[in-house]
Amino acid sequence: MTRLDFFCGYAALVCAIPLALASPAAAFDAGVRAEESLNLNPQCDLVAFVANDNGGLASARVRRLSGSTQTQAAGGASFFEGGISNAFPAVTAANLQANCSLADVTNLVQQGAAGVYAAATSISLTFDARRTSNGDLYAYRAEISGAVATTVTVSQTLINAAPTVTLGSLSGPDGSGTYTVVATLSENS
């Protein structure tokens, strides 16, 4: 081993130790930043994001775009610079219904930031709601999941379209004076 080899190995070790100690362990494997969002109306978005910078940022929330919508985070807790931030309250059905063009919000389940960022594996917000624009019922999800191969998902899945009735041609009258029409429903009854 030459003196140069020894010196290079020593220098690499000396540099690696401070770098390892200065870099926070990242719970979510998201690279620099991963974000997904769904526009609910001009006033608010459903959003989930994670970023492994500044010690770690992660949240699933209803984000205010304009108007009176209040920004709310799943469980009332987000990761901010590696610690827990309670800057935004928990998501409420009242806020979603009053400001996000949703009605009949049910099954609201939320898991905000908990513990330490380095050990976190999930933040989620799920609920069912009816869009006021079309009356359809959807399942909504904003989620950050997995310490390895982290996924960030925001989705709206149709649960039930508003039923419709189609009336056929009127026939009759028959011998007893009765008219008949066939009604076709868009879903089973």
Query: With 60 as the cut, is the pLDDT of residue 23 above it?
Result: no
What is the chain's mean pLDDT, rounded?
84
Query: Which residues, 6 or more positions from 30, have their beta carbon under 8 angstroms from its beta carbon?
Result: 50, 51, 52, 144, 150, 152
Q: Is residue 181 part of a domain?
A: no
What is the per-residue pLDDT across 73-117, written as a single tens digit (0 to 9) for each?
A: 999 999 999 899 999 999 999 999 999 999 999 999 999 999 988
Q: Please tell me the distance from the alpha carbon of residue 121 to that of residue 102, in angstroms, as a whole number.
A: 29
Q: Is residue 117 part of a domain?
A: yes
Q: Is residue 73 part of a domain?
A: yes
Q: Is residue 63 part of a domain?
A: yes
Terminal CA-CA length for the chain: 84
Tally of structural domains, the chain: 1
139 bridge partner residues = 128, 157
**Amino acid present at 101:** S
41 bridge partner residues = 44
pTM: 0.71
Domain that holds residue 86: 25-163
Q: Is residue 187 part of a domain?
A: no
- What pLDDT sits at residue 39? 96
Q: Is residue 86 part of a domain?
A: yes
Is the CB of residue 28 less than 8 Å from the CB of residue 52? yes
178 bridge partner residues = none
Q: Is residue 90 part of a domain?
A: yes
**Amino acid present at 77:** A
- What pLDDT sits at residue 163? 72
What is the per-residue pLDDT across 105-162, written as a single tens digit (0 to 9) for each?
A: 999 999 999 998 888 999 999 999 999 999 999 999 999 998 888 899 999 999 976 6
Q: Is residue 87 part of a domain?
A: yes
Q: Would you mind telling me the total number of residues written for the chain in this entry?
A: 189
- What pLDDT sits at residue 7? 45
Q: Please tell me the distance from the alpha carbon of residue 37 to that of residue 156, in angstroms, as a whole number.
A: 10
Among 63, 67, 70, 47, smallest CA distance to 144 is for: 47
β-strand 151-160 against 165-167: which pairing, if any?
unpaired
Strand residue runs (E) in 28-77:
33-41, 44-51, 57-64, 72-73
Among 141, 140, 149, 126, smallest CA distance to 50 is for: 149
